[in-house]
Amino acid sequence: MTTEPTETIGLLAGSRPRQRRERVIRWFFLSAAATSILISAAIVLSLAGEAWTFISNVELASLTDIGWFPRRGAYDIGTIVVGTLLVAGIAMLVAAPLGLGAAIYLSEYADRRLRKVLKPALEILAGIPSVVLGYFALTFITPELLRRIFGSEVAGFNMLAAGVGVGILTIPLVASITEDSLRAVPNSLREASYGLGASRMRTSLRVVFPAAVSGVVASLIVAFSRAIGETMVVAIAAGAQGGSLFSVNALQPGQTMTAAMASLAIGSDRVRGADFAFQSLFFVGLLLFTMTLTLNVISERFVRRVRQRY
C-alpha cells in the first residue's frame, strides 16, 4: 500500500489539540512545584517586614535589658536565646546517647526478628504529639523524677523537664538517621574487620562508626535544629508565660524563643499592635528561622559527604 509523502506526514504529525493539552498539563504541574518557592518567599517576607519594623523602632537598650518581658518593653534577646540553647542542649544530652545507642544496636547487633519488634517502638515514639510530651514533662517528669533526684529545688515549671521532654521527642530522629548511615556502610568492611579477628564491639566502634560519622553528625545537627524549633513542650512545662528573667538555672522556669512567640500570639488580642510587643514576635521568628535554616543546610553538607564516599 503506497501513500503519498504528504499523507504520511499527516499520519505521523499527531494531533495539535492533544499536544496543546499535554503542554497545559505540564505547566499545571510545574506551577504546583513552583508554589513551594512562593511559600518560602512568603515566609521570609512575612517575617522580615514586621521584624524590620520592630528592630528599627525599638530602643536598642531594651535588647539587653534585664529579661524578656515584651509587654513591658524589655526585649532581652539573650534571655530567650540562652533559654532555647539550654533546653535544646539538655534535649541533646538525652537524645544523643539513647538515639545513637539504639541505632548501633539495631544496625550491628540485633537480628532480623528483634529488629521487627523494636523498630516499631521507635516509630511509635516518633508519632507522639509534642503536647503529650509536654503533659508528661509537667505531670510526671517534674514531680516523679526530678523532685526525687533534686528535691525541692525543682520548681513546678522548669527547663530541665522541658529539655528532657524535647529530648524524648528527638530520640527517634537521631536513631533513624544514624541507623540509615550505619547500614549504608558496605558489608565488605565488616567482613574485613571480623576476618581479622575483631569483636563485634571493635568492629562497630572502630570500623563501622567512623565510616558513617558524617551521617551521625548530620543526624545530631538535624536533631538539634528540631529541638530548637520545638514549642509545645516548653510552653507547657517550662512555665514563664508572661516573660522571664535571664536565667541559666535549669531547675527554674525559663523562656525559649518558640514559647515566647507562642505566648505573644495567644495574648495578642489585648495587644493590638500598639507597642512593639507584637512585632517582637516576628523578630524572634526571623531569628529562629535563620538559625534552623543554617543548621539544616550544614547538615545537608554532611549527608552529601556520606553519599560521595560510597
Partner 1 sequence: MAITTPRAYAPDAVRRVLQRKKRDVRGRTFHVGLVATLLTSVAILVILMVDVVLDSLTVWETRSLGSFLTSQLSADPAVAGIAQALYGSIVLMIFTIAIAFPLGISAAIYLEEYARDTRFTRIINANIRNLAGVPSIVYGILGLALFVKALESITGPQVHGRSVISGGFTLGLLVLPIVIITTAEALRAVPGGIREAAYGVGATQWQMIRQHVFPVAAPGILTGTILSIGRAFGEAAPLLMVGGITTFFQAGDASIVEQLQGRFSALPVLVFSWVRFPQDEFRALTAALIIVMLVVLLLINATGIYLRNRYEKDL
Partner 2 sequence: MSQEREGVREMPTTETTRAAQDGGSRSGFGEQTHDRPLASRRMEVPDDKARIDDLNEHPVVIDVRDLNVFYGDFHAVKGVALQIRQNEITALIGPSGCGKSTVLRCFNRMNDLIDIARVEGEVLYHGVNLYDTAVDPIEVRRHVGMVFQKPNPFPKSIYDNISFGPRIAGYKGNMDDLVEQSLLRAALWDEVKDKLKESAYALSGGQQQRLCIARAIATNPDVVLMDEPCSALDPIATLRIEELMQELKADYTIIIVTHNMQQAARVSDRTAFFNVQVNEKGQRTGHLVEFGETGRIFTNPIEKATEDYITGRFG
Strand order in the sheet with 67-69: 74-75, 67-69, 244-245
Residue closer to partner 1 by CB (options 52, 105) is 105
Phi then psi dihedrals of residue 239, to 5 deg: 75, -150
DSSP per residue, 59-111: -GGGGGSSEEEGGGTEE-HHHHHHHHHHHHHHHHHHHHHHHHHHHHIIIII--
Taking CB under 8 A as the rule, does residue 52 contact partner 2? no
User: x/- string (CB under 8 A) for partner 1, residues 144-173?
Assistant: ------------------------x--x--
Taking CB under 8 A as the rule, does residue 109 contact partner 1? yes
Q: How many other CB atoms are found less than 10 A from the CB of residue 286?
A: 21
Grid cell of 218 as nine digits:
548530620
Segment 105-124, which members bind partner 2 (CB under 8 A)?
111-112
3-state secondary structure of 129: coil
Q: How many other CB atoms are found less than 10 A from the CB of residue 217?
A: 20
Q: Which does 309 bind (CB under 5 to 8 A by kind): partner 2, partner 1, none?
A: partner 2
Taking CB under 8 A as the rule, does residue 189 contact partner 2? yes
The answer to whether 74 touches 65, Cβ cutoff 8 Å, is yes
Taking CB under 8 A as the rule, does residue 282 contact partner 1? yes
CB 205 to partner 1: min, Å = 8
CB 117 to partner 2: min, Å = 15
Segment 224-253, which members bind partner 2 (CB under 8 A)?
none
Among 34, 39, 196, 248, binds partner 2 (CB under 8 A): 196
Contact residues for partner 2 (CB under 8 A)?
Answer: 111-112, 186, 188-199, 202, 206-207, 210-211, 309
